[in-house]
């Protein structure tokens, strides 16, 4: 891998022969999205989440497993980790009997918790697999996207979790841990999944490029992917696949990635700011209108403006007034307010603050 990178500092171009030999001359592959194709198959393949991997590996070696609560931002490996661990613990045959996976697309109201989850939890299980190997004498109930469960349904789990602790382990997964009721969090070992570090993401993406024989991708393209995905590997891989499909002949550069990711080009944002600082209100109106007409999402413009404003050389007071307005605009956009008016309102505040000396 390192040699691969060093060999071409400018562009990342796997050699066709080498890559073809690597894939063993496979026939046309099934059309699977790359995120699924490269979902970790075993716990060892999960990158960057060392603590949880260490605990799971201990239990793979025969130690007991606590009830688990995984939380963290999207695309950081929560679902993949527990599915891979369950597969390794039970093997493909027992998996279906031993693991109950419920996510937000399944009905998980209080009734289901009372019946389905409780009944499944009460079943006792043996400590060996059909193939004779030892396996843990408990089942696993995975409640994915648990933050969308009602508090009543969560409360119904409290006693079940305690009573069936001899035969069942629970794994709750969510993005927002504050939406899980306190009594449940205190029954679980909590693991925070961190956004993936840039170098780890980069390594994964290069690996995928090698395997998929993505020619024509430049290193700056990969760096741009890592930057726009902000630690969300799923987003990075999805964008990579779109980019690879889009430009089969052209080189995948930073600007191609920026284009497909819907990021507003930095020049456009800079232009808006300069209009705020030096222009007139009429010019500002035109600039905002043009941005909206170009189809950039209001929330995206807001996020990028936020990142830049923090770095600008304005006084603390000016920055605090502007960011307070940003918070209001953000909420209004979530509630479905008009993007043009909201951004114009925000830009006016920036203009006011920047032009008055304080
Ligand atoms: N730590 C990781 N190691 C390896 N691959 C990862 C990791 N995190 C994410 N991925 C990649 O991203 C895809 C999505 O990961 P996963 O479904 O586990 O995310 P998640 O944390 O459950 O996200 P969500 O909160 O949106 O459900 C996986 O298929 C895999 O390709
Ligand atoms: Mg998930």
Domain ranges in the chain are 36-192, 198-261, 266-355
Tokens representing 142 are: 């995975």
To the nearest 10 degrees (0 to 180), the angle between helices 339-355 and 281-293 is: 140
How far is C-alpha 32 from the chain's CA centre? 19
Question: Could you identify the residue written with the tokens 């819907």?
Answer: 262
Tokens representing 289 are: 């209108």
The CATH class of 198-261 is mainly alpha
The CA distance from 13 to 215, in Å, is 5
Instruction: Kindly give the pairing relationship between strand 11-12 and strand 217-218.
Output: antiparallel
Looking from the CA of residue 49, the nearest atom of ligand 1 is: 1
> Of all residues in the chain, what percent carry a pLDDT higher than 70?
91
What average pLDDT does the structure give for the chain? Answer: 87
- What is the pLDDT, as a whole number, of residue 18? 40
- pLDDT tens, position by position, 2-18: 434 433 444 454 444 44
Which ligand is closest in space to the CA of residue 43? 1
Yes or no: domain 266-355 corresponds to CATH 3.40.190.290: no
Q: How far is the CA of 176 from the centre of ligand 2 (A)?
A: 12
Half-sphere CA count of 128, side-chain side, radius 13 A = 4
333-198-213-261 Cα dihedral, nearest 10 degrees = 10
Half-sphere CA count of 272, side-chain side, radius 13 A = 27
Looking from the CA of residue 144, the nearest atom of ligand 1 is: 27
The CA distance from 258 to 263, in Å, is 5
The CA distance from 4 to 254, in Å, is 20
Using DSSP's 3-state secondary structure scheme, residue 126 falls into coil
CA quadruple 138, 45, 71, 150: dihedral sign: negative
Choice among 44-48, 108-112, 117-121, 302-306 with the minimum mean pLDDT:
108-112
Please determine, for residue 342, whether its predicted confidence score (pLDDT) is greater than 70.
yes
Q: How many residues does the chain have?
A: 358
Go through 223-242 and write b for each residue having 16 or more CB atoms within 10 A of its CB, e for each that does not.
bbbbbbbebbbbbbbbbbbe
Q: Which of 33, 42, 79 has the most ligand 1 atoms within 8 A of CB, as the residue to mutate?
A: 79
Ligand 2 is an ion; its neighbours by CB within 5 Å are: 79
CATH topology of domain 36-192: Rossmann fold (3.40.50)
pTM for this prediction: 0.83
Contact 37, 157 (CB under 8 A): no
- What is the pLDDT, as a whole number, of residue 25? 41
Which ligand is closest in space to the CA of residue 48? 1
- pLDDT tens, position by position, 133-160: 777 889 999 999 999 999 999 999 998 8
Contact 135, 128 (CB under 8 A): yes
């Amino acid at each position: 891998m390192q040699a691969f990178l060093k060999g071409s500092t400018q562009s990342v171009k796997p050699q066709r022969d080498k890559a073809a030999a690597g894939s063993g001359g496979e026939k046309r592959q099934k059309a699977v999205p790359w995120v699924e194709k490269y979902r970790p198959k075993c716990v060892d393949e999960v990158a960057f989440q060392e603590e949880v991997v260490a605990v799971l590996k201990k239990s793979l070696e025969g130690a007991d497993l606590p009830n688990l609560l995984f939380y963290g931002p999207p695309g950081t490996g929560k679902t993949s980790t527990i599915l891979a661990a369950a597969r390794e613990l039970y093997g493909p045959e027992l998996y279906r009997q031993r693991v109950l996976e419920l996510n937000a697309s399944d009905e998980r109201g209080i009734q289901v918790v009372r019946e389905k989850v409780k009944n499944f939890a009460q079943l006792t299980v043996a400590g060996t697999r059909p193939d004779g190997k030892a396996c843990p004498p408990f089942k696993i109930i995975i409640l994915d996207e648990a933050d969308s469960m009602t508090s009543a349904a969560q409360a119904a789990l409290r006693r079940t979790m305690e009573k069936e602790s001899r035969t069942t382990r629970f794994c709750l997964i969510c993005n927002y841990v504050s939406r899980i009721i306190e009594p449940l969090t205190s029954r679980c070992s909590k693991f925070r999944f961190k956004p993936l570090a840039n170098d780890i993401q980069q390594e994964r993406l290069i690996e995928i490029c090698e395997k998929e024989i993505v020619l024509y991708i430049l290193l700056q393209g990969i760096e741009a992917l890592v930057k726009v995905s902000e630690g969300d590997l799923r987003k990075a891989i999805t964008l990579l696949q779109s980019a690879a499909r889009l430009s089969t002949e052209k080189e995948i550069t930073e600007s191609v990635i920026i284009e497909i990711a819907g990021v507003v080009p930095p020049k456009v944002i800079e232009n808006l700011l300069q209009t705020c600082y030096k222009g007139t209100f009429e010019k500002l109106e035109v600039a905002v209108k043009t941005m909206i007409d170009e189809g950039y999402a209001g929330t995206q413009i807001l996020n990028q403006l936020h990142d830049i404003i923090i770095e600008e050389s304005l006084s603390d007071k000016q920055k605090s007034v502007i960011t307070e307005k940003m918070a209001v605009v953000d909420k209004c956009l979530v509630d479905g307010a008009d993007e043009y008016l909201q951004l114009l309102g925000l830009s006016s505040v920036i203009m006011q603050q920047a032009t008055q000396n304080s």
